Amino acid sequence: MSTPDISPNAAAPTPPVAERRPHHREHHGRVFVDDYEWMRDKDAPDTRAYLEAENAYTDAMTADLKPLEDAVYEEIRSRVKETDMSVPVRSGSWWYFSRTIEGRSYAQHCRVPVAGEFAADMSDPAGWVPPEVSPGVELPGEQLLMDGNVEAEGHEYFALGAFSVSHDGRMLAWATDTEGDERYTLRFRALDPEVTAPDEEISGIAAGVTWSRDGKYVFYVTVDEAWRPETVWRHRLGTTRDDDDKVFHEPDESYWIGVGETRSEKYLQIAVGSKITTEVWCLDSADPAGEFWCVRPREVGVEYDVEHAVIGGQNRFLITHNAGAPNSTIVEAPAGPVEGSFTELRTLVPHRDDVRVEGVDAFERFLVLGYREAALPRFAMMLLDPGSTDGTQSYGAFEPVEFDEELFTSGPGANAEWRTPVLRFGFGSFVTPGRVYSLDPVSGERTLLREQEVLGGYDPAGYVQRRDWATAEDGTRVPISLVMSVDTAARIDAGEQVPTLLYGYGSYESSMDPSFSVARLSLLDRGMAYAVGHVRGGGEMGRLWYEDGKTLVKRNTFTDFVACARHLIDSGLTAPDRLVAEGGSAGGLLVGAVANLAPELFAGIQAVVPFVDPLTSILMPELPLTVIEWDEWGDPLHSEEVYDYMASYSPYENIEAKDYPAILAVTSLNDTRVLYVEPAKWVARLREVSTSANSTDRPVLLRCEMSAGHGGVSGRYERWRQIAFEYAWTVRTATAG
């Protein structure tokens, strides 16, 4: 492998050239020769040397970006209120909140008692308005539960995987990852001087932990060698891990599991799921040492979840399911195992072709319906009649909560108490910083508790957002969300083509909803437009939108994105030499495929932890999460048709001898979801085959974070620095023409 010449006297840095070591992959009679599969050996000196050489080359090729990167970084810092606190959330006898302090990367987690000046009646809506305090001033009776800065000392990476206080408020269970590989270590801490925390650690667990109501047990999940959450354990505090009870084990490699509880805390729950099928097991929380029972045995293709409600004095289950209802419906039944089909139960929310039902939250006095309509997340509320005690409650209607912006994101926020008389919810958009409201479901009165403060005189009137539509190859209309400054909009109206960043994802039914970003202002204020293509494979337009962008119709995701790019160009908003595409993870697959399909439409492609070698990965069931992915992509190991289809769009396998846009690939060495080897191989093959990859105006760059995971670096300052680097590259690429 050659290393880049980055000496001061070099005319221009030369990129690393990876050694070709042919590796033959054969399935279904098809042979693919992979010259760079040797990079999969993470600990091999040659692999480390190659990644370090790529980092050195990227540093050299972007050295001139440092002033712009520094400027963007300082802009982000100058707009963020670094010493701040979250809106306190009431749970039991405490208000819980987190603090950030200027100069420190991680949050402090704190609480104050619901007493003295913070005391309030549980039934009084006014009593649920949190304390008004200055972020830098300690509250009377404040207790520091954990300081992330202290726990992160000595580690290049730090992330919380669990932070859960026992129901009596006396003990904290928390779990951390200091490598970025999403393998957590669980620990306990006493929050009451009369309680002694067990001196024990449980390592190698998945994220999340659930307390029993009596505080004697915690439930946690472990994973198999492919990092699939597969086993639920019950741990009694004060005993050793060897004494833990195996509560539930899922042997089917296409399923994963999680553990939690209903909002009412009446039932502990184990959720078992594949990409297309789910199953729920329950246990009365009053009997945490008992046996879980199944609500309804799994049926392939049927997904459901279960919420507990008390209706007319009776315990009821509210079940969201998709049996015969692609966009889901909600039914109700007595709390307990369900006999027969969900379709035989009483319907609470009927199926609609134009509305995707996402679930229901049950509180003591009201229900909250989450749904998606016109590519926007929304919610509605239904009051419950507290006077009905005979079990014959007649449900009312869900009343939508309305907003006055064209594009927005809304939904229930932190509502820890089932008995709450108000609903805490969040709202925001591309132009409106995130807000937290308290809503009285009886009067409809909204109380603004907090709006994200943007320092430096931010004025939302200086920016505009709107919805546009592209037309796909098959005639399908694809929504596009746009945001830009008023000045940029005026330039477009005057006929100018502006630099634009087009973002896409399009997998797992995940929706890319309108939200505010302080960092994005650095793009918008430099005259860029920001667009999101809501392509098929995502969930923005309902379940069929997702179904039309997965498995054997996955190419719709890519052609939809191309249609969005063409629409932005044909409408006069931008031009190919001013358009940059961005996608991360499965969105990295999207932009990688688009680079092969329509490279002429883009000046640059930014691929973050990109899934660009999907066929190789999905053929390896021993890799993390592979088998459970077969429902999303298909099973190429056992299906010739799936193999050929995935081979037809795999970014790595379809690189051609043609000009490509400038490419920036960002990855992390310890990522367990999309291994670093995928973008590393992709970049090496682009350099070998592409006719433009070694040019100075369209370089192919790889940055590998050597101490990070799938979410990138940890610590807010480090994240801001990473964003600043990526945005600096985007600005230069979109304005170079």
Can you tell me the distance from the alpha carbon of 204 to that of 186, in angstroms, rounded to the nearest whole number?
Answer: 8
What lies within 8 Å, CB to CB, of 317 at 6+ separation is 295, 306, 307, 308, 309, 332, 333, 334, 335, 336, 338
Catalytic residue among 585, 650, 690, 714: 585
The active-site residue, picked from 650, 671, 690, 714, is 671
The DSSP annotation for 360-410 comes to EEE-SSEEEEEEEETTEEEEEEEE--TT--SS-------EEPP-S-SS-EE
Q: Where are the beta strands (DSSP E) in 312-354?
A: 314-321, 329-334, 346-349
174 contacts 160 by C-beta, under 8 angstroms? yes
Q: How far apart are CA 330 and CA 367, in angstroms?
A: 12
> Can you state the percent helix, strand and coil of the chain, rounding each to 5?
25, 30, 45
In order of 72, 513, 514, 518, the CA distances from 430 in angstroms are 19, 9, 5, 10
Distance CA 282, CA 272 (A): 11
Q: Is 671 a catalytic residue?
A: yes
Indicate the SS3 state at residue 53: helix
Alpha carbon distance 585, 228 (integer Å): 18
Q: Report the alpha-carbon angle 428-430-435, nearest 5.
A: 20
The answer to whether 176 and 160 are in contact (CB under 8 A) is yes
Strand partners, 113: 94
Spot the catalytic one: 511, 522, 710, 714. Answer: 710
586's tokens: 């499965």
Alpha carbon 288 to its chain's center:
31
Angle made by CA atoms 125, 451, 524, in degrees to the nearest 5: 155
Determine the distance from the C-alpha atom of residue 144 to the mean position of all C-alpha atoms in its chain, rounded to a whole number.
Answer: 28
* Edge-to-edge strands, sheet with 477-485: 463-471, 477-485, 529-533, 500-504, 579-584, 604-608, 662-668, 700-705
What is the rounded CA–CA span in Å between residue 360 and residue 28? 45
> Helix or strand or coil: residue 106?
coil
Confirm whether 710 is a catalytic residue. Answer: yes
In the beta sheet, which residues pair with residue 180?
Answer: none
Biggest alpha carbon–alpha carbon distance for the chain: 87
Annotated catalytic residue 570: no
Mind telling me the catalytic residues? 585, 671, 710
